[in-house]
Amino acid sequence: MLKLYYMTNKIKVNVVDSWEEVHNRLLRTYYFDNHDQVMEFVNKVSNKAKKMKQHPDMLIHENNVKLTLIGNNQECHKFALSVDRKSTRLN
């Protein structure tokens, strides 16, 4: 598992420990209670991707979204952290 962290209130928080790193790609599946939450998440990720000039692959299902970030660099890691923060705001 990939380990990325951010600092909040001087506490190190592991927010993306469930991202997988495979063949220079970061992979993660997010699960939601319903399709409305899925679409809200997809829209937020799309807007953030545009701002950060990222191009994630998104596979959208009824109650989950599979994200793939191609490249394993600092910008991909920052984007992964940003996506995880958005997912926690939906729950």
Q: Is 74 left (phi over 0), alpha (psi -120 to 50) or beta?
A: alpha
Tokens of 91: 């729950």
Residue type, position 30, single letter: Y
Separation CA 43–CA 11 (nearest Å): 30
In this prediction the pTM is: 0.76
- pLDDT, tens digit, for every residue of 14-47? 444 678 888 888 899 988 889 999 999 999 999 9
Between 91 and 70, the more confident residue is: 70
Question: What percentage of the chain reaches a pLDDT higher than 70?
Answer: 76
